[in-house]
Protein backbone atom coordinates (compact mmCIF):
# COMPACT_ATOMS: atom_id res chain seq x y z
CA UNK A 1 0.00 0.00 0.00
CA UNK A 2 1.31 3.44 -0.91
CA UNK A 3 1.38 5.95 1.92
CA UNK A 4 2.21 9.07 -0.01
CA UNK A 5 1.14 12.41 1.45
CA UNK A 6 0.32 13.55 -2.08
CA UNK A 7 -2.09 10.68 -2.69
CA UNK A 8 -3.72 10.95 0.70
CA UNK A 9 -4.25 14.66 0.20
CA UNK A 10 -5.66 14.43 -3.30
CA UNK A 11 -7.38 11.08 -3.01
CA UNK A 12 -5.70 9.81 -6.17
CA UNK A 13 -5.24 6.32 -4.89
CA UNK A 14 -7.70 4.23 -2.94
CA UNK A 15 -6.41 0.77 -1.96
CA UNK A 16 -9.21 -1.78 -2.03
CA UNK A 17 -10.66 -2.18 1.45
CA UNK A 18 -12.30 -5.17 3.06
CA UNK A 19 -15.95 -4.52 3.70
CA UNK A 20 -17.52 -5.70 6.98
CA UNK A 21 -20.15 -8.37 6.53
CA UNK A 22 -21.85 -7.40 9.78
CA UNK A 23 -23.62 -4.39 8.32
CA UNK A 24 -26.76 -4.71 6.23
CA UNK A 25 -25.31 -2.50 3.51
CA UNK A 26 -22.23 -4.58 2.74
CA UNK A 27 -20.77 -4.30 -0.72
CA UNK A 28 -22.96 -5.70 -3.47
CA UNK A 29 -20.05 -6.21 -5.83
CA UNK A 30 -19.31 -9.81 -6.83
CA UNK A 31 -16.13 -11.26 -5.37
CA UNK A 32 -15.52 -13.97 -7.99
CA UNK A 33 -16.48 -14.90 -11.54
CA UNK A 34 -18.92 -17.46 -10.16
CA UNK A 35 -20.87 -14.66 -8.48
CA UNK A 36 -21.11 -12.59 -11.67
CA UNK A 37 -24.39 -12.95 -13.52
CA UNK A 38 -24.14 -13.45 -17.29
CA UNK A 39 -21.01 -12.41 -19.22
CA UNK A 40 -20.12 -16.04 -20.00
CA UNK A 41 -17.85 -15.28 -22.95
CA UNK A 42 -16.03 -12.50 -21.11
CA UNK A 43 -15.54 -14.58 -17.98
CA UNK A 44 -14.26 -17.54 -19.99
CA UNK A 45 -11.69 -15.47 -21.87
CA UNK A 46 -10.50 -13.73 -18.72
CA UNK A 47 -10.25 -17.02 -16.81
CA UNK A 48 -7.89 -18.36 -19.48
CA UNK A 49 -5.74 -15.23 -19.29
CA UNK A 50 -5.60 -15.36 -15.50
CA UNK A 51 -4.74 -19.05 -15.36
CA UNK A 52 -2.00 -18.55 -17.95
CA UNK A 53 -0.50 -15.63 -16.00
CA UNK A 54 -0.47 -17.69 -12.81
CA UNK A 55 1.26 -20.64 -14.47
CA UNK A 56 3.82 -18.37 -16.12
CA UNK A 57 4.30 -16.48 -12.85
CA UNK A 58 3.91 -13.28 -14.81
CA UNK A 59 1.63 -10.29 -14.62
CA UNK A 60 -1.71 -10.37 -16.39
CA UNK A 61 -1.79 -8.55 -19.70
CA UNK A 62 -3.35 -5.08 -19.67
CA UNK A 63 -7.12 -5.01 -20.18
CA UNK A 64 -9.45 -2.30 -21.46
CA UNK A 65 -13.17 -2.43 -20.68
CA UNK A 66 -15.52 -0.21 -22.66
CA UNK A 67 -19.24 0.28 -23.06
CA UNK A 68 -22.13 2.25 -21.56
CA UNK A 69 -22.02 3.11 -17.84
CA UNK A 70 -23.36 0.76 -15.18
CA UNK A 71 -22.65 -2.54 -16.92
CA UNK A 72 -19.92 -3.97 -14.68
CA UNK A 73 -16.58 -2.56 -15.82
CA UNK A 74 -15.51 -1.68 -12.29
CA UNK A 75 -16.89 -4.95 -10.89
CA UNK A 76 -14.85 -6.92 -13.42
CA UNK A 77 -11.69 -5.08 -12.36
CA UNK A 78 -12.26 -5.93 -8.70
CA UNK A 79 -12.99 -9.57 -9.47
CA UNK A 80 -9.89 -9.89 -11.65
CA UNK A 81 -7.71 -8.60 -8.81
CA UNK A 82 -9.30 -11.08 -6.41
CA UNK A 83 -8.91 -13.98 -8.85
CA UNK A 84 -5.24 -13.05 -9.16
CA UNK A 85 -4.96 -12.63 -5.38
CA UNK A 86 -3.22 -9.35 -6.15
CA UNK A 87 -3.42 -5.92 -4.49
CA UNK A 88 -5.63 -3.51 -6.36
CA UNK A 89 -5.29 0.27 -6.56
CA UNK A 90 -8.02 2.50 -7.93
CA UNK A 91 -7.76 5.93 -9.50
CA UNK A 92 -9.51 8.05 -12.10
CA UNK A 93 -8.20 9.48 -15.33
CA UNK A 94 -9.23 13.01 -14.37
CA UNK A 95 -7.51 12.78 -10.95
CA UNK A 96 -3.99 12.34 -12.35
CA UNK A 97 -3.09 15.92 -13.23
CA UNK A 98 0.72 15.90 -13.26
CA UNK A 99 3.47 13.47 -14.13
CA UNK A 100 4.51 13.46 -10.48
CA UNK A 101 1.09 12.13 -9.53
CA UNK A 102 1.54 9.12 -11.79
CA UNK A 103 5.11 8.56 -10.63
CA UNK A 104 3.96 8.61 -6.98
CA UNK A 105 1.40 5.92 -7.75
CA UNK A 106 3.59 3.59 -9.77
CA UNK A 107 6.86 3.69 -7.83
CA UNK A 108 5.33 2.22 -4.69
CA UNK A 109 3.48 -0.72 -6.21
CA UNK A 110 4.05 -4.33 -5.25
CA UNK A 111 4.88 -6.88 -7.98
CA UNK A 112 1.84 -8.08 -9.96
CA UNK A 113 -0.38 -5.31 -8.58
CA UNK A 114 -3.51 -4.33 -10.48
CA UNK A 115 -4.00 -0.62 -11.20
CA UNK A 116 -7.54 0.28 -12.21
CA UNK A 117 -7.94 3.58 -14.07
CA UNK A 118 -11.59 4.53 -14.43
CA UNK A 119 -12.52 7.03 -17.15
CA UNK A 120 -9.14 6.41 -18.73
CA UNK A 121 -10.15 8.53 -21.72
CA UNK A 122 -9.78 11.59 -19.47
CA UNK A 123 -6.02 11.17 -19.02
CA UNK A 124 -3.96 14.16 -20.08
CA UNK A 125 -1.76 13.53 -23.12
CA UNK A 126 1.50 13.88 -21.15
CA UNK A 127 0.28 11.33 -18.58
CA UNK A 128 -0.85 9.00 -21.33
CA UNK A 129 2.58 9.13 -22.96
CA UNK A 130 4.23 8.30 -19.62
CA UNK A 131 2.17 5.11 -19.52
CA UNK A 132 3.59 3.76 -22.77
CA UNK A 133 6.92 2.46 -21.35
CA UNK A 134 5.12 1.39 -18.17
CA UNK A 135 2.81 -0.88 -20.15
CA UNK A 136 5.43 -2.15 -22.58
CA UNK A 137 8.68 -2.34 -20.60
CA UNK A 138 7.69 -2.03 -16.93
CA UNK A 139 9.70 1.17 -16.79
CA UNK A 140 9.00 4.79 -15.98
CA UNK A 141 10.77 7.62 -17.77
CA UNK A 142 11.11 10.76 -15.67
CA UNK A 143 12.38 14.06 -17.10
CA UNK A 144 14.48 16.11 -14.71
CA UNK A 145 15.17 19.74 -15.47
CA UNK A 146 14.15 21.88 -18.43
CA UNK A 147 15.62 23.01 -21.70
CA UNK A 148 19.05 21.85 -22.93
CA UNK A 149 20.04 20.60 -19.49
CA UNK A 150 17.03 18.34 -19.11
CA UNK A 151 17.76 14.67 -18.48
CA UNK A 152 15.64 11.56 -18.68
CA UNK A 153 15.96 8.96 -15.96
CA UNK A 154 14.45 5.50 -16.44
CA UNK A 155 13.17 3.74 -13.34
CA UNK A 156 12.52 0.02 -13.41
CA UNK A 157 9.10 -0.97 -12.12
CA UNK A 158 7.72 -4.33 -11.00
CA UNK A 159 5.41 -6.14 -13.39
CA UNK A 160 1.91 -4.73 -13.01
CA UNK A 161 -1.43 -4.95 -14.78
CA UNK A 162 -3.27 -1.83 -15.86
CA UNK A 163 -7.02 -2.16 -16.28
CA UNK A 164 -8.74 0.74 -17.97
CA UNK A 165 -12.45 1.50 -18.17
CA UNK A 166 -14.13 3.95 -20.50
CA UNK A 167 -17.51 4.91 -21.85
CA UNK A 168 -15.81 6.68 -24.77
CA UNK A 169 -13.67 4.23 -26.66
CA UNK A 170 -13.25 6.65 -29.58
CA UNK A 171 -11.72 9.25 -27.23
CA UNK A 172 -8.75 7.01 -26.41
CA UNK A 173 -5.78 7.55 -28.68
CA UNK A 174 -4.68 4.71 -30.91
CA UNK A 175 -1.20 4.36 -29.30
CA UNK A 176 -2.74 3.87 -25.84
CA UNK A 177 -5.54 1.64 -27.08
CA UNK A 178 -3.10 -0.64 -28.90
CA UNK A 179 -1.07 -1.26 -25.75
CA UNK A 180 -3.92 -3.13 -24.10
CA UNK A 181 -3.69 -6.86 -24.73
CA UNK A 182 -7.44 -7.42 -24.41
CA UNK A 183 -10.35 -5.16 -25.33
CA UNK A 184 -13.68 -6.16 -23.80
CA UNK A 185 -16.93 -4.43 -24.69
CA UNK A 186 -19.71 -4.88 -22.16
CA UNK A 187 -23.16 -4.70 -23.69
CA UNK A 188 -26.54 -4.33 -22.01
CA UNK A 189 -28.00 -7.15 -19.90
CA UNK A 190 -31.17 -8.98 -20.86
CA UNK A 191 -34.18 -9.19 -18.53
CA UNK A 192 -33.43 -12.78 -17.46
CA UNK A 193 -29.91 -11.86 -16.36
CA UNK A 194 -31.16 -8.86 -14.42
CA UNK A 195 -33.84 -11.05 -12.82
CA UNK A 196 -31.17 -13.39 -11.47
CA UNK A 197 -29.02 -10.45 -10.36
CA UNK A 198 -31.89 -8.81 -8.46
CA UNK A 199 -32.64 -12.05 -6.60
CA UNK A 200 -28.95 -12.39 -5.75
CA UNK A 201 -28.69 -8.85 -4.39
CA UNK A 202 -31.96 -9.19 -2.47
CA UNK A 203 -30.44 -12.08 -0.54
CA UNK A 204 -27.39 -9.97 0.29
CA UNK A 205 -29.69 -7.17 1.46
CA UNK A 206 -31.57 -9.75 3.52
CA UNK A 207 -35.01 -9.01 2.18
CA UNK A 208 -37.50 -11.27 0.42
CA UNK A 209 -38.85 -10.54 -3.03
CA UNK A 210 -41.38 -12.36 -5.19
CA UNK A 211 -40.41 -13.59 -8.65
CA UNK A 212 -42.92 -11.26 -10.31
CA UNK A 213 -41.49 -8.30 -8.39
CA UNK A 214 -37.94 -9.22 -9.44
CA UNK A 215 -38.97 -9.41 -13.07
CA UNK A 216 -40.86 -6.11 -12.81
CA UNK A 217 -37.65 -4.41 -11.66
CA UNK A 218 -35.62 -6.22 -14.33
CA UNK A 219 -37.74 -5.09 -17.27
CA UNK A 220 -37.77 -1.48 -16.04
CA UNK A 221 -34.04 -1.14 -15.31
CA UNK A 222 -32.85 0.09 -18.73
CA UNK A 223 -30.99 -3.22 -19.20
CA UNK A 224 -28.39 -1.86 -16.76
CA UNK A 225 -27.16 -3.62 -13.62
CA UNK A 226 -26.41 -0.44 -11.69
CA UNK A 227 -29.94 0.86 -12.24
CA UNK A 228 -31.51 -2.48 -11.28
CA UNK A 229 -29.61 -2.47 -7.98
CA UNK A 230 -30.49 1.16 -7.36
CA UNK A 231 -34.20 0.47 -7.87
CA UNK A 232 -34.01 -2.61 -5.63
CA UNK A 233 -32.52 -0.48 -2.84
CA UNK A 234 -35.26 2.14 -3.16
CA UNK A 235 -37.99 -0.51 -3.04
CA UNK A 236 -36.18 -2.08 -0.07
CA UNK A 237 -36.32 1.30 1.70
CA UNK A 238 -40.06 1.50 1.09
CA UNK A 239 -40.53 -2.05 2.38
CA UNK A 240 -38.55 -1.32 5.54
CA UNK A 241 -40.51 1.86 6.26
CA UNK A 242 -43.76 -0.06 5.86
CA UNK A 243 -42.57 -3.04 7.94
CA UNK A 244 -42.81 -5.44 4.99
CA UNK A 245 -40.58 -8.50 4.83
CA UNK A 246 -41.43 -9.34 1.22
CA UNK A 247 -41.20 -7.02 -1.77
CA UNK A 248 -44.32 -7.44 -3.91
CA UNK A 249 -45.05 -6.47 -7.50
CA UNK A 250 -47.52 -3.82 -6.34
CA UNK A 251 -44.83 -2.33 -4.11
CA UNK A 252 -42.35 -2.21 -6.98
CA UNK A 253 -44.84 -0.52 -9.29
CA UNK A 254 -45.75 2.06 -6.65
CA UNK A 255 -42.11 2.99 -6.00
CA UNK A 256 -41.26 3.13 -9.71
CA UNK A 257 -44.22 5.43 -10.29
CA UNK A 258 -42.86 7.70 -7.56
CA UNK A 259 -39.47 7.64 -9.33
CA UNK A 260 -41.09 8.51 -12.67
CA UNK A 261 -39.97 5.29 -14.37
CA UNK A 262 -42.46 3.84 -16.85
CA UNK A 263 -43.20 0.30 -18.02
CA UNK A 264 -40.16 0.02 -20.30
CA UNK A 265 -37.72 1.88 -18.07
CA UNK A 266 -37.97 5.39 -19.50
CA UNK A 267 -37.57 8.17 -16.98
CA UNK A 268 -38.64 11.79 -17.27
CA UNK A 269 -35.50 12.85 -19.13
CA UNK A 270 -35.86 10.03 -21.68
CA UNK A 271 -39.42 11.05 -22.41
CA UNK A 272 -38.45 14.71 -22.54
CA UNK A 273 -35.77 14.00 -25.16
CA UNK A 274 -38.24 12.14 -27.37
CA UNK A 275 -41.01 14.72 -26.93
CA UNK A 276 -38.75 17.67 -27.72
CA UNK A 277 -37.52 16.11 -30.97
CA UNK A 278 -41.06 15.26 -32.07
CA UNK A 279 -43.02 18.28 -30.88
CA UNK A 280 -40.56 21.17 -31.05
CA UNK A 281 -38.55 20.06 -34.08
CA UNK A 282 -41.28 18.09 -35.91
CA UNK A 283 -39.04 15.01 -35.75
CA UNK A 284 -36.50 16.57 -38.05
CA UNK A 285 -32.83 15.72 -37.30
CA UNK A 286 -31.62 17.51 -34.15
CA UNK A 287 -27.95 18.02 -33.32
CA UNK A 288 -26.53 17.01 -29.95
CA UNK A 289 -25.75 20.59 -28.92
CA UNK A 290 -29.27 21.77 -29.76
CA UNK A 291 -30.78 18.84 -27.91
CA UNK A 292 -28.65 19.56 -24.86
CA UNK A 293 -29.79 23.19 -24.79
CA UNK A 294 -33.46 22.25 -25.27
CA UNK A 295 -33.39 19.69 -22.45
CA UNK A 296 -31.03 21.63 -20.15
CA UNK A 297 -28.84 18.52 -19.95
CA UNK A 298 -25.10 18.16 -20.51
CA UNK A 299 -24.10 16.89 -23.96
CA UNK A 300 -22.00 14.09 -22.48
CA UNK A 301 -24.89 12.97 -20.28
CA UNK A 302 -27.25 12.76 -23.23
CA UNK A 303 -24.71 10.98 -25.42
CA UNK A 304 -23.41 8.49 -22.85
CA UNK A 305 -26.31 7.92 -20.46
CA UNK A 306 -29.58 8.40 -22.31
CA UNK A 307 -28.86 7.80 -25.99
CA UNK A 308 -27.42 4.26 -25.78
CA UNK A 309 -30.57 2.91 -24.12
CA UNK A 310 -32.97 4.80 -26.38
CA UNK A 311 -31.12 3.56 -29.46
CA UNK A 312 -30.92 0.00 -28.12
CA UNK A 313 -34.69 -0.01 -27.54
CA UNK A 314 -35.29 1.26 -31.06
CA UNK A 315 -36.81 4.55 -29.94
CA UNK A 316 -34.13 6.90 -31.25
CA UNK A 317 -31.71 6.79 -34.13
CA UNK A 318 -28.77 8.84 -35.26
CA UNK A 319 -28.51 10.18 -38.77
CA UNK A 320 -25.68 12.16 -40.40
CA UNK A 321 -27.70 15.31 -39.71
CA UNK A 322 -28.79 14.57 -36.14
CA UNK A 323 -31.13 12.58 -33.89
CA UNK A 324 -34.66 11.55 -34.89
CA UNK A 325 -37.33 9.53 -33.11
CA UNK A 326 -38.39 6.21 -34.64
CA UNK A 327 -41.99 5.19 -35.32
CA UNK A 328 -41.88 3.06 -32.17
CA UNK A 329 -40.70 6.04 -30.14
CA UNK A 330 -43.46 8.23 -31.56
CA UNK A 331 -46.04 5.62 -30.64
CA UNK A 332 -44.71 5.35 -27.09
CA UNK A 333 -44.86 9.07 -26.38
CA UNK A 334 -48.31 9.25 -27.90
CA UNK A 335 -47.48 11.56 -30.81
CA UNK A 336 -48.64 11.08 -34.39
CA UNK A 337 -46.74 12.60 -37.24
Q: Is 118 a catalytic residue?
A: yes
Interatomic CA distance for residues 135 and 120, integer angstroms: 14
Bridge partner residues of 65 (DSSP): 165, 184
8: exposed, middle or buried (Cβ count in 10 Å: 0-12, 13-18, 19+): exposed
Q: Among the options 54, 82, 226, 317, which is catalytic?
A: 226
Interatomic CA distance for residues 74 and 91, integer angstroms: 11
Question: Cα torsion at 176, 178, 179, 180 (round to 10°)?
Answer: 100
Bridge partner residues of 223 (DSSP): none
Q: Is 54 a catalytic residue?
A: no
Interatomic CA distance for residues 169 and 184, integer angstroms: 11
Strand, helix or coil for residue 22: coil
Q: Is 224 a catalytic residue?
A: no
Helix, strand, coil distribution of the chain in percent, nearest 5:
50, 15, 35
Q: Among the options 91, 101, 118, 313, which is catalytic?
A: 118
Q: Among the options 39, 73, 313, 323, which is catalytic?
A: 73
Query: What stretch of H or E contains 53?
Result: helix 40-56
Q: Is 257 a catalytic residue?
A: no
Q: Among the options 91, 161, 166, 167, which is catalytic?
A: 167
Side-by-side strand order, sheet with 114-118: 14-15, 88-92, 114-118, 161-166, 63-66, 182-185
Interatomic CA distance for residues 171 and 301, integer angstroms: 15
- Helices (H), ranges, 88-173: 99-106, 125-137
Query: What stretch of H or E contains 92?
Result: strand 88-92
Q: Is 336 a catalytic residue?
A: no
Q: Among the options 74, 91, 161, 166, which is catalytic?
A: 74
By annotation, the residues acting in catalysis are: 73-74, 118, 167, 226
Amino acid sequence: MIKSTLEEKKGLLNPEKKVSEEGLERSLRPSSFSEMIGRKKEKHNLSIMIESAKKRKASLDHILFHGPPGLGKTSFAHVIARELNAPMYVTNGSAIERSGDLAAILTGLEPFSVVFIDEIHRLRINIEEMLYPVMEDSALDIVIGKGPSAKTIRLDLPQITIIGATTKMASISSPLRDRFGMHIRLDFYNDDELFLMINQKAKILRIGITEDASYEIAKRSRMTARIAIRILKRVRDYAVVNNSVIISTEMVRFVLDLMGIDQIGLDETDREILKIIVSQFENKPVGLNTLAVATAEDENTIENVYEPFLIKKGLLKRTPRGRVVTATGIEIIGKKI
